[in-house]
Amino acid sequence: EFGTDEGDESDLVIRPPVVTVMGHVDHGKTKLLDALRNANVAGKEAGGITQHIGAYQVSTEVDGNERRITLIDTPGHEAFTAMRARGAQATDIAILVVAADDGVMPQTVEALNHARAAGVPIVVAVNKIDKPDADPTKVRGQLTEYGLIPEEYGGDAMFVDVSAKSELNLDKLLEAVVLTADASLDLRANPHQDAQGLVVEAHLDRGRGPVATVLVQRGTLRVGDSIVAGAGYGRVRAMLDEHGDNIEVADPSRPAMVLGLTAVPGAGQNFIVVEDDRMARQIAEKREARERAAMQAKRRVRRTLEDFMASMEKGESQELNLILKGDVSGSVEALEDALAQIDVGDEVSLRVIDRGVGAITETNVDLAAASDAIIIGFNVRPQGKAGQMADKEGVEIRYYSVIYNAIEEIEAALKGMLKPVYEESTLGQAEIRAIFRSSKLGNIAGCMVTSGVIRRNAKVRILRDSKVVADNLDLGSLKREKDDASEVREGFECGLVVKNFQDIKEGDVVEAFEMREIARS
Ligand code: GDP
């Protein structure tokens, strides 16, 4: 059932990283995906893939162990960010392809920014090294300027020189992906539970009806399971892998083509396994209604500069993300430099997550939607459907033709964002006695309130051995027995979820506090 526990630590097994290939046009993304597919396919002879299903797995040996990797078969950051704008993050790691004869180009930087905005680690594939004018050292130097520093220069990004054409160093590239995943991500999932995951792509097939390629993110999907996927639902009639072979089960990170749905779900939508068909239908209907409502709500809450000030005043948001687009590179640089000069203190952070020359594109709007960013257009306008899309997604585009005006308005907003002065008072403390993993909610802390009161809407911090390990967090839920509670008092047990902080441990203390506004002197 949806929302059941993730299980014990001991149930978790390593799952393959899911990788998206990004980079500038013509730098070899498609060729690289083809080469990887042909050269090294899990459990198959070379050239074994017969079917395009939107994602495929390959395997490679790392330190004597066979390790699998899932590759999303749609290259480019556009699809990646469009999924994120829909609330889905399929990708664990990005391979940034840079042609060694061409070097870093505008879309290289754009891809880099999109991966960063998503918090996805990057492995650089320096491609086309078979070419006589290839200059991999130059590529390393160029990317260093963007803060992507090769390991060999003391940084933490892995760079691998490859040739997609000559199929050179592909194993090294895959190894770098595995090593990066091991070093910076905790990719584990419990296969012993009902499956959940994402729809990667879907279409209506004349003979087979709705066909969806899904990526299992947790649990194991089985033929015969009742599932809900977007607006579609039904019993999994058959599953196919990337070879076109029938499979009975799909474990975490495994892409599979699913037959048997009643309707075609959208890319980026979730799927879940439920008890039976009847339940599936009910959930699909409810979900559709809820998604419609959420879409409408999103439209309202998405950031405008004014909303931003309001949310800052409520103490909700401290990060303003901007995307800068200008007519010439000089104006974009001048704008970014001037923004960097604004002194907003330590409380607020202003982040330029992407910048570029030229019209505002749909990709810019997608990134803004995915990252709650505002787009600044300096002497440029939206192109094609980008303007309509911004309206639909609730993304604000602010147009300027004088740099000074842009700076002045953003500065005013940021200053308005500065929080009033608050005084803190402690409400109470609870000790974490046990931790339950829920696939829906994350880690649930089973607590005993040892003093005062824990309130649902209070701010909390986590204390470990009397030291603060995380501060100023919100509660995602507070329950007494099975019921939602607005507060739980000393001497009672409760279950709570701390938002945006999963790293709780038994013995940690959750301290609830509130901030009271006091008059500025
Ligand atoms: P994409 O736009 O990034 O998907 O680039 P493609 O994969 O379509 O490749 C663009 C062009 O570069 C094609 O003509 C490829 O054959 C060529 N190409 C890709 N990788 C290599 C490589 O490693 N070496 C050489 N010499 N050419 C390559």
Average per-residue pLDDT for the chain: 85
- Name the binding residues for GTP: 23-30, 73-77, 127-130
In the reported structure, the alpha carbon of residue 66 is separated from the centroid of ligand 1 by a whole-number distance in angstroms of 29
User: Going by CA atoms, what residue is nearest to atom 20 of ligand 1?
Assistant: 28
Report which of residues 308 and 170 the model is more confident about.
170
ipTM: 0.99
Binned at pLDDT 50, 70 and 90, residue 306 comes out as low
Mean pLDDT of 243-263: 93
- Highest mean pLDDT of the ranges 1-5, 12-16, 344-348: 12-16
pLDDT confidence of residue 521: 31
pLDDT confidence of residue 398: 86
- The amino acid occupying position 152 is E
Category of 358 on φ-ψ map: left (φ > 0), alpha (ψ -120 to 50) or beta: left
In the reported structure, the alpha carbon of residue 27 is separated from the centroid of ligand 1 by a whole-number distance in angstroms of 6
pLDDT confidence of residue 42: 45
Mean pLDDT of 242-251: 92
Residue 245 CB neighbour total at 10 angstroms: 13
Binned at pLDDT 50, 70 and 90, residue 429 comes out as very high
481 token code pair: 């027995």
The ligand 1 atom at the shortest distance from the C-alpha of residue 23 is 3
The ligand 1 atom at the shortest distance from the C-alpha of residue 168 is 23
> Smallest Cα–Cα separation from 344: which of 416, 421, 419, 415?
415
Per DSSP, what are the bridge partners of residue 65? Answer: 62
User: Going by CA atoms, what residue is nearest to atom 14 of ligand 1?
Assistant: 26
DSSP class of residue 490 equals: T
pLDDT confidence of residue 471: 85
Which residues line the pocket of ligand 1, CB cutoff 6 A?
23, 25-31, 75, 127-128, 130-131, 163-165
pLDDT tens digits for range 191-215:
888 898 999 989 888 888 899 999 9
> Which percentage of the chain shows pLDDT scores above 70?
86
Mean pLDDT of 364-381: 86
DSSP strands (E only) in 268-396: 270-274, 319-326, 349-357, 373-378
- Name the binding residues: 23-30, 73-77, 127-130
pLDDT tens digits for range 132-153:
999 999 999 999 999 999 999 9
Q: What is the CA radius of gyration of the chain?
A: 25
pLDDT tens digits for range 57-87:
999 999 999 999 999 998 988 888 888 877 7
pLDDT confidence of residue 324: 94
The ligand 1 atom at the shortest distance from the C-alpha of residue 33 is 7
487 token code pair: 């507060």
Q: Is the pLDDT of residue 90 over 80?
A: yes
Tell whether pTM > 0.90: no
Listed in sequence order, the residues at least 6 apart from 183 whose beta carbon sits closer than 8 Å to its beta carbon are: none
pLDDT confidence of residue 328: 86
In the reported structure, the alpha carbon of residue 257 is separated from the centroid of ligand 1 by a whole-number distance in angstroms of 28
In the reported structure, the alpha carbon of residue 32 is separated from the centroid of ligand 1 by a whole-number distance in angstroms of 8
pLDDT confidence of residue 43: 47
Distance CA 12, CA 6 (A): 8
> Smallest Cα–Cα separation from 51: which of 40, 39, 37?
37
**Best residue among 20, 22, 26 to mutate for probing ligand 1, ranked by most atoms within 8 Å of CB:** 26
Binned at pLDDT 50, 70 and 90, residue 49 comes out as low
pLDDT confidence of residue 341: 83
User: Going by CA atoms, what residue is nearest to atom 9 of ligand 1?
Assistant: 28
Report which of residues 431 and 311 the model is more confident about.
431
Q: Is the pLDDT of residue 411 over 90?
A: no
